[in-house]
């Protein structure tokens, strides 16, 4: 299996994040202060296009090479605690760094090299979650 197509799609995604300024701390502030439509337009139209594509894939009954239907991994709600608590913790960090995980990586090479520290810190955060996981409500 060639990995090159994944690299190319990732590159296009990274270039779009940069040119649409999604990677900017200021665009995230603008979004959380409801001062511009830009970020909502991007996320909203991405959801619509992705949703219509998923519908088309399902309607056409497309399958992978091994015969399994093409579909996203389903998530189970459970008590929902992990989604609301984990989501809120991520949200706190998103507005502090002004970057979600993709932009964090994009910024390291795209003009804010100190984001490498935030990236290492994020890895530490994920590791600590892995360490505490048996004791956290999910």
Looking at residues 12 to 51 of the shown chain, list those that interact with other proteins (rule: CB under 8 A).
12-30, 32-33, 35-51
CB of 124 to other proteins, least distance (A): 6
d(CA 61, CA 55): 10
Alpha helices, DSSP H only, in 33-114? 38-60, 81-97, 101-110
CB atoms within 10 A of CB 121: 13
CB of 136 to other proteins, least distance (A): 7
Q: Can you tell me whether residue 3 is helix, strand or coil?
A: coil
Near other proteins by CB under 8 A: residue from 59, 61, 125, 135: 125
Decide: is 135 part of the binding site for other proteins (CB under 8 A).
no
Q: Can you tell me whether residue 122 is helix, strand or coil?
A: helix
Name the nearest CA neighbour of 20 among 75, 82, 60, 12. 12
Decide: is 1 part of the binding site for other proteins (CB under 8 A).
yes
Decide: is 130 part of the binding site for other proteins (CB under 8 A).
yes
Rg, the chain, Cα only: 18
CB of 35 to other proteins, least distance (A): 4
Residue number, 61 or 125, with CB nearest to other proteins: 125
* Residue 79, C-beta contacts closer than 8 angstroms, at least 6 positions apart: 137, 138
Q: Please give the residues from 93 up to 122 whose contact with other proteins meets the rule CB under 8 A.
A: 93-102, 104-115, 117-122
Residue number, 33 or 61, with CB nearest to other proteins: 33
Decide: is 67 part of the binding site for other proteins (CB under 8 A).
no
Total number of residues that touch other proteins (CB under 8 A): 114
């Amino acid at each position: 299996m060639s990995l090159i197509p994944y690299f190319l799609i990732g590159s296009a995604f990274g270039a779009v994040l940069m040119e649409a300024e999604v990677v900017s701390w200021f665009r995230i502030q603008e979004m959380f202060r409801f001062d511009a439509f830009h970020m909502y337009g991007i996320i909203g139209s991405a959801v619509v296009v992705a949703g219509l594509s998923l519908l088309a894939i399902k309607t056409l009954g497309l399958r992978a090479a091994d015969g399994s239907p093409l579909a996203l991994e389903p998530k189970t709600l459970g008590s929902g605690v992990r989604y609301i608590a984990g989501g809120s913790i991520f949200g706190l960090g998103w507005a502090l760094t002004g970057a979600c995980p993709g932009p964090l990586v994009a910024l390291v090479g795209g003009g804010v090299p100190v984001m490498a520290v935030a990236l290492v810190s994020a890895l530490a955060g994920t590791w600590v979650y892995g360490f505490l996981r048996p004791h956290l409500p999910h």
